[in-house]
Amino acid sequence: MADQKKPDEKSYWLDDRNNVKKLVLALYVACGLSFVADFFYHKHVHYDVENWIGIYPIFGLVACAVLFLGAKLLRTLFMRDEDYYQEADDD
């Protein structure tokens, strides 16, 4: 039922589940290729930890997770009621 559209409604390429699966697969392949490429080039490192295989993808994953969890924490601290601005207009 959710996949049915009105005749006059515009269809986008990401509305098709097969296209979304292809996009996710392409992202997985790109990530895998970038990890494999780590074996084939010489790095000019400043710290020994940069010699570890896959350190940049691991660092990126950890940094993204920290940003996500930090944003989730900030949302709980600063979240306002749904009608926060409407109450201020009543005064």
**Domain definitions of the chain by residue range:** 14-80
User: 């699966």: which residue's tokens?
Assistant: 21
Least confident of 12-16, 78-82, 83-87: 83-87
The pair of structure tokens assigned to 71 is 């944003």
The residues, ordered by sequence, that sit 6+ positions from 43 with a Cβ below 8 Å of its Cβ are 50, 51
pLDDT tens digits, residue range 26-62? 988 988 888 888 888 888 889 999 888 888 878 888 9
- pLDDT bucket at 89, cuts 50 / 70 / 90: low
For residue 4, the 8-state DSSP code is -
pLDDT tens digits, residue range 1-33? 456 667 778 888 888 999 999 999 998 898 888
CA dihedral 28, 29, 34, 35 (to 10 degrees): 70
